[in-house]
Chain A
């Protein structure tokens, strides 16, 4: 089993290096004439107006939070899915109870209006 992960480690290292090669090629070949107008931030062709930060929109954070809870839930479901094939029906019911409790959570978040984009 360790051989698999060593292969993946090697793959990760080479996989990070390969996209860098065209960038290096471009750095060698492409012209480089920086001037301040070219490098100004793009705002549909006009000068930038206002501060350069985004208004706080709490909704992004709430989506990320709900995603986190459901992500952990689905991670728990993977060992259940594997073990389910060899064990009796009771095991499936246990998993269904797990899923139902979290569906209650989803319905709660929905009814509280936390899933609206507003």
Chain B
């Protein structure tokens, strides 16, 4: 087994384990911290796939902004940060079956792809992915319109947040 495969298996175990702990933890702040571990695992996956820019952006945006937002929301709004109710419903086996069916469906679709076993070729050394991304984001026949629309989307998010916060203020 190549070292990359070992690293991938360890990272996958980290991600799945942390995701399970997010759902299972009774303490909400612990759940938020397990979410940080899951997001970090995804960043490691991006780095394995040679997407260095996406790996650091994942840490900066997800862990540095969104996870902090979650932790603020949890710490500021809950007086009691433990979940004291029962952890599962009476008919949990229906949900488990549906989950397993969805997993089986996804796995069968993926395995049925003709190129599933192809290994990604090495990137030529003079190819700069971030520069190529930059070119793609600003050239008129690539993605410049989605680039500008993204800023309008961010503006809409800002306006929406302000509206909700303003209507709650006394």
Contacts and interface: CB of A to CB of B under 8 A. Distances in A.
Contact of B155 (A54, A91, A102, A114): A102
A102 to B, nearest CB: 6
Query: B4, B44, B151 — which one has the most chain A CB atoms within 10 A of its CB?
Result: B151
B110 interface: no
A1 B51 CA distance: 9
A93 B75 CA distance: 42
Contacts of B1: none
A76 B155 CA distance: 14
Categorize the interface residue count of chain B: 35 or more
A5 B150 contact: no
Nearest to A115: B162
A87 B7 CA distance: 39
B68 A64 contact: yes
A6 to B, nearest CB: 8
Contacts of A1: 50, 52, 123
Interface stretch (A18-26, A31-39, A41-49, A77-85): A77-85
Query: B3, B50, B154 — which one has the most chain A CB atoms within 10 A of its CB?
Result: B154
Contacts of B48: 2, 5
B106 interface: no
Contact of B161 (A9, A62, A101): A62
A112 B162 contact: yes
Contact of B61 (A54, A61, A72): A72
Nearest to A91: B138
Interface in B136-157: 136-139, 144, 147-148, 150-152, 154-155, 157
Interface string A1-23: 11011101100000000000000
B69 A79 contact: no
Query: B52, B144, B161 — which one has the most chain A CB atoms within 10 A of its CB?
Result: B161
A29 interface: no
Contact of B137 (A80, A104, A105, A114): A80
Interface stretch (B14-22, B30-38, B88-96, B127-135): B127-135
Given A5-B47, A73-B151, A114-B162, A94 B65 contact: no
9 contacts: A56-B77, A71-B64, A72-B65, A76-B151, A79-B130, A82-B134, A94-B138, A104-B155, A113-B166
